[in-house]
A and B are shown apart, each in its own frame.
Chain A
């Protein structure tokens, strides 16, 4: 559904996207995960024909993003980071404008509007001015609008940025429902780790390059298994014992010993039974995507956001803007 080959884009001397290659299958939820400034939005803008690639190529729904822009546009729906609804119009007027712009006939448009507004629970507010809507309502309206012209691919750029966890959950319920019903392909960017869990596959992007691409589970497996955390009266000695018995490298931090091991849940009962010292606490958890990012880049996402900002500021200076 989406084929991307060596896609790159630079702004002046800054290489925002340094040649990314990937494919997204029909009906898949594909995520771009990375810190702010990693090149996520630049990639999405190229795929939806808002930005011309500096080099490389991309096809969406079989159409080339550089040369068949109108065909690409007709087959995609978009929800941007910032709100793009007209606040001075009503919800209904916003959707109708979209229908006119995409050339949808009234007999298709009106039932579809009803279906989508009902789905995002805005049907009762359809005559209301968008100015009076909350952030979550605006985002839901944008999702409904992005789907009005029956797109094959829905692009979501940070779809739940700035929304509370409950609203985020709500929006994901709609999206999964839609994907099932319309065999919709979803391409999204996010820097929320938990949101990335909604994806079938994830590309982790850092400094404009893809550093890993796989399902969330396999990415986590690649980190080296589950995380076992425990504490004893003497953590330093306990760490030494772990090193000798299981041939792994534990970390002692914040009064706890931590190490990684495959199949942590079956390992844990044996560990508790066999360990020579008295355990004060013990736990096992699956690694999160945060751990994956840390393992791949050696930095935490939050630190990298600072990096990216500095890089951008330095770059802006050079660029003379």
Chain B
């Protein structure tokens, strides 16, 4: 067990080191969400009016954009596996006495730490968007982002364990990432969309991650929540669902990584 812990720690440590030393990644990771917030916010906020009492479009979208940031940086944990494989460093990790499980958990933990840094950095924007911020929100947000990110990192690593080129991985992630984001209620409440879209969105697990983060920011009594078979999902429901699915994805990633030589 100590080998798993040491592996987790050392691999995660390197992920952080890489993130900090790579300034272009540091900057570009903030560019996308800000572009979405500025362009969509400026374009839609006036014409759409309030979505619920006291909640305009940009305030609605903001928690979703945080979830989106978490999604992209978590999947990055996967690309770092492919990157290491391509440039040989994976071999150095594989022959170290740390075991495969530790490697997967370390990559996931590294992805999660990066996602946390980015999510917390996004909070700087809150005052400018008129989003109320308090200690309770921050304290709830940290574990929620961690749970969501661990599972999504697991998904990224799971995919990466079958991929041998960065290009291949990136193409696949692009194909995956857009429907996941657009059909997760990031940009609009999914209760007022055509049935086909509603069904897909409610099957998309990311929807519950987005909604959980939104509930942390905006509270639950807005009439914007996700209802499944007439039941409005509570924050606890969503945490359990996202956590359980994340555990399955991480487990699958560990298995996939152990299976290959």
Interface: B203 (CB within 8 A): no
- List CB contacts (< 8 Å) of A39-59 with chain B: 48-52
**Chain A residue contacts of B6, Cβ below 8 A:** 100-101, 103
Closest B residue to A74 by CB, please name it: B97
- Residue on A nearest B87 in the bound complex, by CB: A87
Q: Is the CB of B3 within 8 A of A80?
A: no
* A25 CB-CB contact with B under 8 Å: no
Query: Is the CB–CB distance between B13 and A49 below 8 Å?
Result: no
Which listed residue, A74, A84, A86, touches B14 by the CB 8 Å rule?
A: A86
**For the complex, is B256 an interface residue (Cβ under 8 Å from A)?**
no
* Cβ-defined contact, A80 with B91, below 8 A: yes
CB atoms of A83 and B88 under 8 A apart: yes
A38 within 8 A of B: no
The answer to whether the Cβ of B134 comes within 8 Å of any Cβ in the partner chain is no
B46 within 8 Å of A by Cβ?
no
Interface size on B, residues (CB 8 A): 24
The DSSP consensus for interface residues of chain A is loop
| B14 A97 Cβ-Cβ under 8 A | yes
- How many A residues touch the partner, as a band? 20 to 34
B92 near A84 with CB under 8 A, answer yes
Shortest Cβ gap from A70 to chain B (Å):
4
How many inter-chain contacts with C-beta < 8 Å in the A-B complex? 64
Residues of chain B within 8 A (CB-CB) of A98 are 92, 96
B99 touches A70 (CB 8 A): yes
Q: Which residues of A in the span 68-104 have a Cβ within 8 Å of any Cβ on B?
A: 70, 73-74, 78, 80, 82-89, 93, 97-98, 100-103
Known interface pairs A73-B95, A101-B93. Does A51 touch B13 (Cβ–Cβ under 8 Å)? no
For residue B221, give the distance in angstroms from its CB to the closest CB of chain A: 48
B14→A102 contact, CB < 8 A: no
Task: Known A52-B261, A86-B14, A89-B17; judge A101-B98 contact (CB<8 A).
Answer: yes
Known: A70-B3, A80-B88. A88 touches B21 (CB 8 A): yes
Residues of A within 8 A of B18 (CB): 86, 88-89
| B96, A73: Cβ atoms closer than 8 Å | yes
Is B63's CB within 8 Å of the partner chain A? no
- CB of A50 within 8 A of CB of B261, answer yes
**Chain B nearest Cβ from A268, distance in angstroms:** 50
Which residue of chain A has its CB nearest to the CB of B84? A86
Residue B89 lies at the interface, judged by CB distance under 8 Å to chain A: yes
The 9 closest A-B pairs by CB, nearest first: A101-B96, A84-B88, A100-B10, A73-B97, A70-B97, A84-B92, A84-B91, A82-B88, A101-B10
What is A's interface to B at a CB cutoff of 8 Å?
Answer: 48-52, 70, 73-74, 78, 80, 82-89, 93, 97-98, 100-103, 145
Pull 18 A–B residue pairs with CB atoms less than 8 Å apart, ordered by A.
A49-B95, A50-B94, A74-B97, A84-B92, A85-B88, A85-B92, A86-B14, A87-B87, A89-B18, A89-B21, A93-B17, A98-B96, A100-B6, A100-B9, A101-B7, A101-B97, A101-B98, A145-B92
Extra inter-chain contacts (12) besides given A49-B95, A80-B91, A84-B91, CB under 8 Å:
A73-B95, A74-B97, A87-B87, A88-B21, A89-B17, A89-B21, A97-B13, A100-B9, A100-B13, A101-B97, A102-B97, A103-B6
